[in-house]
Amino acid sequence: MLTPELAVNVCRKAIQTILMCAAPMLLAGMIVGLFVSIFQAATQINEQTLTFIPKIIAVFVTMLLFGPWIIKLLLTFTSGVFTTIASF
């Protein structure tokens, strides 16, 4: 039987998994954005589109590097949910 504690636990694990999957890409985008902003401030280049291409490249490279880890994390979470459902 599905108890409130079990439902809260599954939701907590889902949110934790989402944050762990998104964190590498978000951090890479933030770090690249910070460096581009420092570069723009130092050179006084005020081009708005300059930040997008490096961020997109950084996010894609991070996806390639962390992809296997993210897939493993998602598979572990999904199999845990299916095991929990099967135990009812």
Mean pLDDT along residues 12-25: 97
55-80: pLDDT as tens digits: 999 999 999 999 999 999 999 999 99
- pTM of this structure: 0.82
Structural domain includes residue 31: no
At a CB cut-off of 8 Å and minimum separation 6, what does 63 contact? 25, 70
Give me the domain span that covers residue 88: 48-88
Q: Does the residue 41 lie in any domain?
A: no
Question: Domains in the chain: how many in total?
Answer: 1
| Location of structure tokens 């939701």 | 11
84 assigned to some structural domain: yes
